[in-house]
Amino acid sequence: MRAPLARGSVLAAAAALALTACAQGTSDDAGTDAGTDAGAESTYDPDAELSGELSIMGFGAGDEIATVRLEAAEAVIDPVEVTLIEGDLDIQQFLSAVAAGDPPEIVYANRDQIGTFASRGVIVPLDDCIEGEGVDTGMYRDVAIDQVTFGGSIYGIPEFNSVQITMANAELLEAAGMSIDDVNGSDWDAIAAAAEAMVQDDGGLSVIGYDSKLPEFLPLWAKANGVDLLSADGKTAQLNDPAVVEALKFAVGIYDAQGGFSAVKAFRDSNTDFFGAGNQFATNTLGAMSFEQWYVNVLNESSPDAAMAFDTFRDKEGQTIAFASGSAWAIPKDSANPVAACKLATTMTAVETWQAAAQARVDARTEQGLPFTGLLTGNEEADTAIQELVVEIGDEKWDAAVAATYEANDNTFALPANPADAEFKTAWQDAVNRVLNGQQEPQEAMDEAQEQAQAALDAAWADAE
């Protein structure tokens, strides 16, 4: 081997690999201010003749809910040719496309990403689009609108909604002498008692009594304890608020009482049939947890006879609460077809379109011999219309699940749009994980998270303003 050649190659490769990681394109113009209505401005003409192409990034037509609505939207914007860039929105791909001046015409993003995109001028306000298409924003759920509103303008059209309800194994509850009311969140002592009563550890965990679903559900536990993680204006982190720390201590304590988070997570991860007949409830290996409502559909389909019990998740006062999340349509700056994009977004989320999609789902489920368990959107009127399609299943547990889902959907909260969502989320999730991993105490972890999150918010808001 010739040493100098090898060394040279190695050093050159090292240099290239280390450095090319951080040069991913250039900006095409200077300073697009947040709030600049580049794509739609006040010239939005709903009667403009449509033509050209429309690429959608982040949206997949994988089921009847998607295909029926997409077909309806395509009919409205005909002859525009629609192409899908499927899969979850890849932020790197999206931002690179925007920076290169060749963005997709419309994107399908998580609502919590909207504030960050809006603050950087990546997407345009939709006020003129909404006004031009005569959309009544009052029909959308307030929390959904709050999530897509930045600087007084609406930057996204809300789509699906996701909420949490309490799900429990009725057999395990009964064996422990408890009921769904003991694990619905309203009585934290009862949850702790239920967790201890249902957990089974025979030299290794074999049943999780109660899974408090950390780190992802800290906002829910904090809200149940009376506080949000972020102020209503999206500018002040409240991560080390005593009520947040208390909620974290409680939720972590649930794991500690069952052998610690490591053991619970390892056991939870060992079940690889989360979506099948071998799920944790069907195999009697999980007592209770709060989880997103879509899992009701999975359980109903994969293990319809499992002994289940459902309720909403409740705060300490017994009031139903749920943390709303979901998706939204947004139009990138420099979108080549903003009018078609606007029409597609408003058509996809119109009440009658949702109804048609829900009916298609009902038909498909009926054909499979399965009940329709509902569909949640960010559109309150659509939800009401869709709920009318839900017929009584005739099985108490599944009817309870549907009722809990719709009650939760009427009692949601969310974190407001902010320009540093990713950093904010990373700060508190990492802090919770440090506590779960035994690296820090709750107060210390949340103090550190508060400092990081507030610094990120301050910097991002300063840039945005």
Partner 1 sequence: MATTTEVSRTPSTDEGDRVRRSTSRKNLRAALLFLSPWIAGFLIFTAWPVGYSAYLSFTDYDVINAPTLIGFDNYRQLFDDPKISLSLWNTFVFTAIKIPLHVIVSLALALLLNRAFRAAGFFRTAFFLPEMTPPVAVGILLLLLFNGQDGLINSTLGWVGIDGPDWTTDPAWVKPGLVMMGLWTVGSSVIILLAALRNVPQELYDSARVDGANWWQQTWRITVPMISGTLFFVFIVNSIGAFQSFTEAYTAFFGSGNTTYSNDAALFYVIYLFQQGFEFLHMGYASAMAWVLFVIIMIITGIQILVSRRFVYYEGDGR
Residue ranges that bind partner 1, judged by CB under 8 A: 1-3, 6-7, 10-11, 13-27, 29-32, 91-92, 95-96, 98-99, 116, 120-122, 204-205, 215-216, 261-263, 265-267, 269-270, 272, 420, 422-423, 426, 429-430, 433-434, 436-439, 456, 463
Closest CB 272 distance from partner 1, rounded Å: 8
Closest CB 17 distance from partner 1, rounded Å: 6
Q: For residues 293 and 373, which CB has a smaller minimum distance to partner 1 in the complex?
A: 293
Backbone CA torsion sign across 336, 345, 59, 69: negative
Closest CB 18 distance from partner 1, rounded Å: 4
Find, among 207, 204, 203, the residue nearest to 173 by Cα: 207
Task: Give the number of other CB atoms < 10 A from CB of residue 114.
Answer: 26
Q: Characterize 291-320 residue by residue with b for buried, 16 or more Cβ atoms within 10 angstroms of its Cβ, and e for exposed.
A: bbbebbbebbbbbbebbbbbbbbbbeeeeb
Q: For residues 303 and 429, which CB has a smaller minimum distance to partner 1 in the complex?
A: 429
Q: For residues 34 and 340, which CB has a smaller minimum distance to partner 1 in the complex?
A: 34
Angle in degrees, 0-180, between the axes of helices 242-256 and 442-464, rounded to the nearest 10:
130
> At 127, phi and psi to the nearest 5?
-55, -45
Find, among 462, 450, 464, 463, the residue nearest to 236 by Cα: 450
Q: For residues 14 and 175, which CB has a smaller minimum distance to partner 1 in the complex?
A: 14
Closest CB 98 distance from partner 1, rounded Å: 6
Q: For residues 119 and 186, which CB has a smaller minimum distance to partner 1 in the complex?
A: 119
Pairing of strands 81-85, 106-110: unpaired
Q: Residues with Cβ < 8 Å from 232, sequence gap 6 or more?
A: 416
Q: For residues 332 and 371, which CB has a smaller minimum distance to partner 1 in the complex?
A: 332
Closest CB 125 distance from partner 1, rounded Å: 16
Closest CB 405 distance from partner 1, rounded Å: 22
Secondary structure element (H or E) that encloses residue 328, with its range: strand 325-330
Q: For residues 99 and 170, which CB has a smaller minimum distance to partner 1 in the complex?
A: 99
Closest CB 184 distance from partner 1, rounded Å: 23
Q: For residues 410 and 463, which CB has a smaller minimum distance to partner 1 in the complex?
A: 463
Closest CB 420 distance from partner 1, rounded Å: 8
- Taking the C-alpha atoms of residue 361 and residue 121, their distance in angstroms, rounded to an integer, is 37
What the block records as the tokens of 275 is 């979506």
Contact between 325 and 414 under an 8 Å Cβ cutoff? The reply is yes
State the Cα torsion 149-155-158-161 to the nearest 10°: -60
